[in-house]
Amino acid sequence: MITAAQLRAARALLGMDQRALAEASGLSLPTIQRMEASEEMIRGNVESLMKLIAALDAGGVELIGEGMTSDRGGRGVRLKPR
């Protein structure tokens, strides 16, 4: 899963505004806005979440989930190596 904070951070790393992410993911701008306004974990249907994650992945961002390998632990985002 992805949190709203991870989504905002990933977008910032890619230099994308909400509209550009909506276009890249095939989701509507209001959907992206609702996702980013979530308290913690983003809620949505599985298809929308998969489109969002695929767009971030294609842009070059790797999501770090709870328990995944990272230097300090915890959730986050990072740019994928080129």
Q: Tell me the pLDDT tens digit for each residue of 29-49.
A: 999 999 999 988 998 899 999
Q: What is the pLDDT of residue 47?
A: 96
For the domain 4-79, what is the CATH code?
Answer: 1.10.260.40
Count of CB atoms within 10 A of residue 80's CB? 9
- Alpha carbons 81 and 51: distance in angstroms, whole number: 22
- 77 versus 1: the higher-pLDDT residue is 77
Q: What is the pTM of this model?
A: 0.85
Give the C-alpha distances (Å, rounded to integers) separating 70 from 41, 44, 62, 65, 76. Answer: 20, 27, 12, 9, 9
